[in-house]
Chain A
């Protein structure tokens, strides 16, 4: 595996379900991110982890719960979601601490909440 991988690629869940999204980066980076992408809207940053510590929580509802057990893996735990949470959820990683750093994205998980 190379780059940033995400599983599952597609997920349909009911409003009462609990599910988790997984992200893994194979780039040796030390920072990981969750973004939400909805139609006709800019990418919305949800969470940032740097060296496994959460450094940003962008006013995300508590029904989204991130977990970063190490610098290569990132999870997004989902429970009691709403239909408006249907979107593409993107994971990204970067190497913080460099004067210029770039974010590399995974393919995303297409989430549909019914």
Chain B
């Protein structure tokens, strides 16, 4: 079993739709959860960062962590064509580890 599972997509939605992107994980030691956005031929860009369980909102983006289910989500409201990218989830534990574990990424296409 992979430590982090993420549906690779592609996920195609019309402009204005609410998008839900998800990752599941198996390691209960993970405490920090990140979402990165990666445009084609660019490096990943940090979008959202959450610690432990709960929700975090930033503009049109909401990150949600459910540690009891080992499930994290990223919601994008009022999606725009400029949101078309690959979204990577990443996570790590707390104890002296530099190691982020990444999902494979979900490719999102928002159609105008």
Contact = CB atoms under 8 A, between A and B. Distances in A.
Interface in A45-59: 45, 48, 50, 55-56
A73 B44 CA distance: 19
A56 B99 contact: yes
A28 to B, nearest CB: 17
Interface string A101-114: 01111111010000
B98 A42 contact: no
The size bracket of the interface on B is 20 to 34
Interface string B19-37: 0000000000000101010
Interface string B33-51: 0101000011111100101
Enumerate the 8 nearest inter-chain pairs by beta-carbon distance, A residue then B residue, closest first: A105-B43, A43-B102, A42-B102, A107-B43, A105-B44, A48-B98, A108-B43, A42-B104
28 contacts: A6-B43, A33-B98, A40-B8, A42-B2, A42-B4, A42-B102, A42-B104, A43-B44, A43-B88, A43-B90, A43-B102, A48-B98, A48-B99, A56-B99, A90-B43, A94-B98, A96-B98, A100-B49, A102-B46, A102-B49, A103-B46, A105-B43, A105-B44, A105-B45, A106-B43, A107-B43, A108-B43, A110-B41
Interface of B: 2, 4, 8, 32, 34, 36, 41-46, 49, 51, 88, 90, 98-105
Interface of A: 4, 6, 31, 33, 40-43, 45, 48, 50, 55-56, 90, 94, 96, 100, 102-108, 110
